[in-house]
Amino acid sequence: MIRLRLRGPGGLKNVAFESSATAAALLAEASQVAQSENGNIVILAGFPPAELKLDEADTRPLSALVQTGDTLTVKPATTAPPTTAPPATAPPATAPPATA
């Protein structure tokens, strides 16, 4: 049994996972604690806190990522707005000076 504390925007939640649990199980539980509807979250572990890189297809055992008693900080991921270059505008065309 792996027992963890998940700290999120809504407070602290104690959770327990079976020894056979995978990283995907942690991600599912952490999404609820982070109050993220789309599952786009950041999980920080250790000291100093470092991001755990997880996704739904992650089959690594949870015991390879964390230890019983660890406190993980979870929060919705902040995504930077896409950077788009302003549209290129050509300088106005100028007619060559008229020669007489």
Of the pLDDT bands very low, low, confident and very high (cuts 50, 70, 90), residue 2 is: very high
Of the pLDDT bands very low, low, confident and very high (cuts 50, 70, 90), residue 16 is: very high
Residue type at position 50: A
pLDDT at position 81 is: 44
Q: Is the pTM of this model over 0.85?
A: no
Averaged confidence pLDDT in the chain:
81
Q: Which residues of 24-48 are buried (b: 16+ CB within 10 A; e: fewer)?
A: bbbbebbbbbbebeeeebbbbbeee
Q: Give all domains of the chain, ordered by start, each with its CATH number.
A: 2-76 (3.10.20.90)
Kindly list the strands in the beta sheet with 11-17, ordered across the sheet, starting from the edge strand earlier in the chain.
11-17, 2-8, 71-76, 41-45, 50-52
